[in-house]
A and B are shown apart, each in its own frame.
Chain A
């Protein structure tokens, strides 16, 4: 029953008469997808990253470079980005977790990695430096460029479903149990024979690989990427906000977070024209949600259903 309802809601945009509504649905689903990617490492694994844009940007550049430099079909960019993002995640994870970084130390190191990637992409000839990469405009499904926003929405929806599937699997499978054990108490987990570095690295790689695919979709939709679009802090912050406001470590958290934050952003933008005020409202709403719902929106969801929710209870 639940899944029918969810499927129904997700399908609504396909019958909406308006492209702009489809577009809002697409952007919301895109945020939810990126938030879910963050959630896989940040929520389920407790690996609070401030630099997830490093994966998004790696993916975006992978897709764009393969296509513009080597003439590879952009659809191939998706699996390629997954690989590259996974490798970047594995690399960052292996280095940081071997060094025993956790909490704010890990958060800061991810921030710094994103910055290194930004500066590199801004300086290297290979990434066309600060010029950025413009993907030639050529609309066709074969070329992964769609005139109809519903097609983009469908692609994003599939990605969201995949990422959420991974999240569901984490709540049920053995790997998820290991990850949860590491998140709750590393020493205890180690005593039970869980390889901590490996488990965490694996989670970050998976999260990074998925997020990188988002970068490809972004590139194919807006046809231009540059170092700050790819690796800028804003993207990282958005990913973590969506997941944390929604409820980190829950399957539905990122989806709820994305819906609510998009509604707040769009509505405030629509009704307040004075520059600066709309984002201010956004900031205030953020503070209120944190104050009222410490477990995120999914916490309420769980309470209503009478089951425990939130990161600590997952």
Chain B
């Protein structure tokens, strides 16, 4: 029995790494734009389909495709904010919320029209590669996703803390009007931040595909989890997203074991509610 709990714990950490990957972009977008990006799940779906098409039609492994898909998704995100979300909403919070909802409706159905509603998957060289740790078998694609999410979180943190562009983004996030006086155009920076957030999703999509599946509705499978992680870690915090992701992964994994896989998912929502009620700034968030 102990063995199963250990396995569930380790497995939970691995899944948590994948969740963190999806949450990184979301927390960045929240941290800068202060909006809940309802199109996040749909854009993850877009990234996964991009990786799937490259793998299935062109034989490119999702790992090789990662830089291309990440850059492509950056462009998609940037353009989406610059030409659709930003214009439609004129920066008003409620309107941005509705705009991201509208975008997700359009994207989901566009991909449904193109790819049909079925579940698609790939079987690659690494699909059955397992890493043996004692009695445990760890799926290599998950280990890779876990590792990359840590690196990516570190990279994002360094980017925001150490580069001029990162500082500009943070300045706009804090004081859009002040930044404008300094000669920074907030709208440009918002588009950039949205693009980077969605670019992260590009990476997430490529890393997720080998151990998951893709369908036009795959985003909804991750959206609530990603929101939970962002809130738990503190909206806008990268270390928070990673720690939050791991905690949620473990909660889900152990919750499933203790409560049964049927009632288990309630653990995530309960943690979510508890954090919101008791410490809404999250584990790593600054005071509001």
Q: List chain A positions with a Cβ less than 8 A from chain B.
A: 48, 95-96, 99-101, 103-105, 107-109, 111-113, 115-116, 119-120, 122-123, 129, 233, 237, 241, 244-245, 248, 274-277, 279-280, 282-284, 286-287, 290-291, 294
Contacts and interface: CB of A to CB of B under 8 A. Distances in A.
B278 A99 contact: yes
Chain A facing B: main interface SS:
helix
A290 B102 contact: yes
Residue of A96, A120, A123, A284 ringed by the most chain B CB atoms within 10 A: A123
Residue of A103, A112, A280 ringed by the most chain B CB atoms within 10 A: A112
A283 B98 contact: no
Contacts of A280: 105-106, 109-110, 113
Given A108-B36, A116-B270, A294 B95 contact: yes
Interface stretch (B4-12, B180-188, B194-202, B261-269): B261-269
Interface in B246-277: 260, 262-263, 265-266, 269-270, 272-273, 276-277
Interface string B186-230: 000000000000000000000000000000000010001001100
Contact of B113 (A116, A233, A277): A277
B94 interface: yes
Contacts of A101: 276-277, 280
A283 B106 contact: yes
Contacts of A96: 276-277
A248 B228 CA distance: 27
Nearest to A116: B269
Nearest to A245: B98
Nearest to B89: A290
B99 A283 contact: no
Nearest to B90: A294
Contacts of B54: none
Given A99-B278, A108-B231, A111-B227, A123 B263 contact: yes
Interface of B: 30, 34-36, 84, 87-90, 92-95, 97-99, 101-106, 108-113, 117, 220, 224, 227-228, 231, 260, 262-263, 265-266, 269-270, 272-273, 276-278, 280
A284 to B, nearest CB: 6
Given A99-B277, A115-B269, A283 B105 contact: yes
A276 B113 contact: yes
Nearest to B260: A123
Contacts of B87: 291
Contacts of A245: 98
Contacts of B276: 96, 99, 101, 105, 108-109, 112
Contacts of A99: 276-278, 280
Contacts of B102: 283-284, 286-287, 290
Residue of B30, B104, B109, B228 ringed by the most chain A CB atoms within 10 A: B109
B88 A287 contact: yes
Contacts, number: 117
Contacts of A120: 263, 266
Given A105-B276, A284-B106, A276 B112 contact: yes
Contacts of B269: 112-113, 115-116, 119
A284 B101 CA distance: 11
7 contacts: A109-B272, A113-B269, A116-B269, A116-B270, A248-B94, A286-B102, A290-B95
Contacts of A275: 112-113, 117
B265 A119 contact: yes
B106 to A, nearest CB: 4
B280 to A, nearest CB: 5
A277 B109 contact: yes
A290 B88 contact: yes
Nearest to B107: A283
A104 B113 contact: no
Contact of A116 (B109, B112, B273): B273
Contacts of A241: 98, 101
B266 A116 contact: yes
Contacts of A284: 102, 106
A291 B88 contact: yes
Nearest to B113: A276
B272 A276 contact: no
B92 A294 contact: yes
Given A111-B224, A275-B113, A237 B101 contact: yes
Nearest to B92: A294
Given A109-B277, A111-B227, A241-B101, 12 more contacts: A105-B276, A108-B231, A112-B228, A116-B273, A119-B269, A276-B110, A277-B109, A279-B108, A280-B109, A283-B102, A287-B99, A290-B88
B263 A286 contact: no
A62 B99 CA distance: 35
B19 to A, nearest CB: 16
Given A276-B112, A287-B102, A291-B87, A48 B94 contact: yes
A123 B263 CA distance: 6
A133 B150 CA distance: 45
A119 B263 CA distance: 6
A107 B117 CA distance: 30
A119 B277 contact: no
B227 A279 contact: no
